[in-house]
Each structure stands twice: as C-alpha cells, then as structure tokens.
Amino acid sequence: SSKLSKTITLPTGETYEQPTGLFINNEFVSGKQGKTFGVINPSTEEEICEVAEAMPEDVDSAVDAAEKAFNSDWSFGDPANRGKVLYNLADLMEAHKKTLTSIESLDNGKTLANAAGDVGLVINYLRFCAGYADKLDGEVVDTGSGYLNLVKREPLGVCGQIIPWNFPLLMWSWKIGPALATGNTVVLKPAEATPLSALYSAKLAKEAGVPAGVLNIVSGFGKTTGEAIATHPRIRKVAFTGSTRTGKHIMTAAAQSNIKKVTLELGGKSANIVFNDCNVDKTIQNIITGIFFNSGEVCCAGSRIFIQSGIYDTIIEKLKTAVQAIKVGNPFDPAVFQGAQTSQMQLDKILGYVEKGKEEGAHLLTGGEREGNKGYFIKPTLFTEAKPGMAIYEEEIFGPFGVITKFDTPDEALTLANNSEYGLAAGIHTENLNTAKYVSDRLRAGTVWINTYNDFHYAVPFGGYKQSGIGREMGKSSFDNYTQVKAIRTKI
Ligand code: NAD
C-alpha cells in the first residue's frame, strides 16, 4: 500500500490493490491540497480506505488534460480507434469481473448477485457503445445544383459527469460509454460514498489504451468537486444522475456559468399497477423486484403500488408472506436477497419515513425497523392505505419501502399514477393486451414495464418525463446526448 493505493482484502478472501488517488491525465495523483476522505463499508460500518479529495484546482488540472486530449486524434481521428479502445476496456472489465463485483458489494452494500448484474450490464453496454463509435453517419442534404450540404455529428468537448452511489459502476458506464464513443473527453466525479469501482476501472481504462487526458476521475464531495464541475467555464456539458433537488441546482449552475448542455437522470416515485386479471405469482415477484431490488435504492423503483380491488386481498396476503421470507443481511452471503443501505444518512432517512407513515395514518403491513444493530440494514417495508397528500406517498424515499393503494378502474389508476411531478418509470401487470396498451399509452413515464419490472437492456433507452430528467441513456439515444450537429454548406 502507498498513499495512492491500498491493498484490500475482500470478504471473499481475495486481495486486490485499490487505487486511492485522483486519476488525472492517466496518472493517479494526490489532490493539490493533499486532502483525503474515508470510504465506509455499509455492511460493517468500518472504514475501507481513504481516497483523495479533489478541490477546484484539481478539477482545473483535469479539465486542462481533457481539453488537450480533445484537440487530438481522439476526436478528429478514425472513430474505429475509439471503438477498439472501448472493446478493450469491456474485455478487461470482463477479465476483472469477479473483483469488480466484490468491490461494488463492499462499497455500496448491494448483494453480490445485484453487483454481478450491474457489472454484466456495464460490459454489454460498453460493447454496444464501442460498436456505435464508427456508425454515427451524417447526411447530405440536396438543395439543388450549386451547393453541397453536409450535416455531421460532432462531439461536444470536455464533458463533466456527476454520478450517484446506488449503481456506482453502472452509472460510470452509462456516462463514459457514449461520451467516449463519440469522441468527447471526460471529467467524472463518483459519489463520495462509493468512489472505489470508478477508480479501479480507471486503471483498466489506461490499460485498455484510453489516451492520457481522455478520462479523468475526480473523487470528492458535491459542494466542492461537483460544484467546480457544474460551474466550470471550459466544461461544455454536464451529465448528472441523482436527486431532483441537486439536478435543479446543477442545471442552474450550468446555465449561469456557460450554458452547458445538460442531461439529467433524476428521482422518481414510480407507479406499479396491478390489475384483477394479472398472473398472481409472477406479479408478486415483479412487485418485489420493483421495490426491493438493490435494497430499494433505485431511481425507477416501483415504490407506489396500485392494486385493483378485485385482486387486492389475494395480492396483499401473498405479498406479505413473500416479503417476510426475504433474507436481509451480509451482501456476500448468496442466500441474502437484500443487502445494506449505502449510508447511515439513507438508513436514518428511511426510518424517519416509517414514523411519518404511522403518523399520517397509513397501515404498516410489514417491516419498518432495522435488521440487526451493525450495518445499515432495514427490513423490507410496506404500508397499505397510502393516500395522495401523505409524505410517504408523494416523496422519493429511496429504500426498501413501498406504499400500497387500492383502485377500481384503469382510468382511476392512470389518474393516480400520473398525479406526480416525477415520470421516470411505471409497471403494469395484466394478461389483457387491450388494458396494457391503453394504460401504457397514457402513462406519463419514460419507461413502461409490462409484466416485468426493473428490467433493463443496454439497447433500450432509459430516462425521465417531467421532473425525472432530460435526455435518455442507453440505446441509440445515448449518442444524441454527446454530439452536436454541424452543417457545412459549400457553394460550388
Ligand atoms: P445527490 O443528488 O445530492 O448526489 C448525487 C451526486 O451529486 C453525488 O455525486 C454528489 O456528490 C453530487 N452533488 C451533490 N450536491 C452537488 C452540488 N451542489 N453540485 C454538484 N454535484 C453535487 O443525492 P444524495 O444527497 O446522495 O441522496 C439524496 C437523495 O437523492 C436520495 O435519498 C434519493 O432520494 C435521491 N437519489 C436519487 C438517485 C437517482 O438515481 N435518481 C441517486 C441517488 C440519490
């Protein structure tokens, strides 16, 4: 171990070398002020290591490196070269899959199964981006003889990217994949709670042949490092995933500094709607995946569960039994379904909502308390009799905490579901295609899942309506967020 890396023994027994410096211009370095901060294992509440904290002057150095790299062959050369580098990176991540999976469980508290799912999606998505690098064709617009009009897509320049702690590595890939494939350069800030997988992967990026300055990782806090990115005069775009509140702040900072292009993937309070004619057993599983997958720390979690009156009692009874059988605890234990919440702050926030729910007159069906007394574990929690106006019904809780409301008709479910400032996702459970089509057409949400939930594919776009965001990630849409159109009109 040195100041810029630490040897860490994982709960699996494996030992690995964790980079702990800032990654600027393809080197791990200390911050200019020499500051560091501790990273906590949420399952044990013990410190894993200290990592360097980037201050605004470090963000400046990263932008210098990224600007220099942008004005090079990286953005002007053959795009197939960028594709090749991204394929190499995906291959290396595949070779390191086991370690990456463990790092993610250690740092975030999610189960190994959840982490393995994330890493698999990361690898697939990086390959999808790699394959797109040399396929971003332009067009020729015919305006008659005498002119030649070329329309092409170009990268934006240095992109600032700020990501959250619930899917540390997955969000890293959703951000850097399309940015690098299209020839941009990047200054990325991981969340202060979970910087480890991004730093580890930076080492792999260098090994994969990502040129110096193309990818810079500046670990640090929102109010200093994040703010320096959002306000930086030479960063041309900021991409953010996190809370709507911080998203608004970043959008304002982007506007006031230099009209940065902005993409935002923000919060949600997504509706998961169960109809009388659903397949009951599959629906129970989909409700559970909807709200308890990844310990409920999912922006598109199906946290408002609407159940039609004819099937209500049956679903509630079976759901309660299934939820009480969920094993919560050590994320490295393969029998565990739900790991730890990522921070003490989140645990306290969720427990606060349990009290609020009781005060507001909702009925606690199950859960509502800590699991054990060490580590940030909480029992999967469901409230019934949740109503519009209650805080537990309106606000994003971001934990294993669902609220249940009864409805009678599809139109009533639609009114309830759409009556939210959020619009990230929604779920429908029915065997009737007519109902599925009618309801999915009318839901104001960026993703609608039918007879499934929290079911992602790298080729399918993801993003929010209303205050859940701007822009789409994954799928072909991701490349729109990182390119701008240039028209070249020649008089001949
Ligand atoms: P946050 O939105 O404040 O933090 C997300 C990222 O933004 C982190 O990297 C953070 O350092 C950075 N950040 C914070 N303030 C910033 C600022 N002023 N300028 C630039 N960057 C800044 O979220 P949080 O405080 O960690 O969590 C609070 C709540 O946000 C959660 O309880 C949850 O409801 C929600 N959340 C949503 C998502 C999502 O994917 N939609 C992810 C994380 C958190």
Residue closest by Cα to atom 25 of ligand 1: 243
Q: What is the ipTM of this complex?
A: 0.96
Residue 31 near ligand 1, beta carbon < 6 Å? no
Catalytic residue ranges: 265
Residue closest by Cα to atom 43 of ligand 1: 242
Ligand 1 center–CA 481 separation, angstroms = 21
| For ligand 1, mutation pick of 246, 344, 422, 466 (most atoms within 8 Å of CB) | 246
Ligand 1 center–CA 128 separation, angstroms = 27
Residue closest by Cα to atom 8 of ligand 1: 191
Residue 162 near ligand 1, beta carbon < 6 Å? yes
Q: What is the 3-state secondary structure (H, E, C) of the chain?
A: CECCEEEEECCCCCEEEEECCEEECCEEECCCCCCEEEEEECCCCEEEEEEECCCHHHHHHHHHHHHHHHCCHHHHCCHHHHHHHHHHHHHHHHHCHHHHHHHHHHHHCCCHHHHHHHHHHHHHHHHHHHHHCCCCCCEEECCCCCEEEEEEEEECCEEEEECCCCCHHHHHHHHHHHHHHCCCEEEEECCCCCCHHHHHHHHHHHHHCCCCCCEEECCCCHHHHHHHHHCCCCCCEEEEECCHHHHHHHHHHHHHHHCCEEEEECCCCCEEEECCCCCHHHHHHHHHHHHHHHHHCCCCCCCEEEEEHHHHHHHHHHHHHHHHCCCECCCCCCCCCECCCCCHHHHHHHHHHHHHHHHHCCEEEECCCECCCCCCCECCEEEECCCCCCHHHHCCCCCCEEEEEEECCHHHHHHHHHCCCEECEEEEECCCHHHHHHHHHHCCCCEEEECCCCCCCCCCCECCEECCEECCECCCHHHHCCEEEEEEEEEC
Atom of ligand 1 nearest to the CA of 266: 41
Ligand 1 center–CA 241 separation, angstroms = 7
Residue 56 near ligand 1, beta carbon < 6 Å? no
Report residues of the chain scoring pLDDT below 50.
1
**Residue 116 confidence (pLDDT):** 98
Ligand 1 center–CA 122 separation, angstroms = 21
| For ligand 1, mutation pick of 232, 243, 262 (most atoms within 8 Å of CB) | 243
Ligand 1 center–CA 461 separation, angstroms = 22
Residue 65 near ligand 1, beta carbon < 6 Å? no
Ligand 1 center–CA 222 separation, angstroms = 8
**Residue 397 confidence (pLDDT):** 98
Residue 241 near ligand 1, beta carbon < 6 Å? yes
pTM beyond 0.95: the answer is yes
Atom of ligand 1 nearest to the CA of 171: 40
**Residue 2 confidence (pLDDT):** 64
